[in-house]
Structure 1
């Protein structure tokens, strides 16, 4: 059970993405956007050179998930939203 509300998670998740994760991805031409947080599910979208990159699943697991779960809570669920699916989060 997640001890934080989605609203409680917004600021720390956003901060970690902006200060730690985004700069790492930017070095290789990638980008990341925090779309929303619903029921402790963090919906992000990998962008830039991350789109279609064969290493994007590793980036998601070993950079994004690791940073957020270590810093905030191990039960966070991180979901990468494919391009064009931004309005269909309930399907993911």
Structure 2
């Protein structure tokens, strides 16, 4: 069982995403948290990141790994197009 509610995850997720945001901004992109539901963080990549062929790697190796390290190892990131 996951120890946090979706509402309790919002602020920690936003704080954690701020760690990877500068990397995205440098490449002409950004990230928006759309919702959190059942330990899944639904995000939308914006700008140059939205059409990047490497966006899956950015989400899994950058965003998801940061959230798992900072908050909980069972968090999953899902892209909304």
Q: TM-score range by the shorter chain?
A: over 0.9
Distance 1:56 1:38 in 2: 21
Greater share of helix: 2
Query: Which one has the largest radius of gyration?
Result: 1
Unaligned runs of 5+ in 1: 83-92
In structure 2, the residue matched to 1:14 is: 14
CA deviation vs aligned residue, 1:26-81 (integer Å, no higher than 9, x gap): 01101000011111111111111011211111101110111001110011121010
Structure 1's consecutive aligned runs of 4 or more residues displaced over 3 angstroms after TM superposition are none
TM-score normalised to structure 2 length: 0.94
RMSD: 0.8
In structure 2, the residue matched to 1:89 is: none
In structure 1, the residue matched to 2:75 is: 76
Aligned length: 81
TM-score normalised to structure 1 length: 0.83
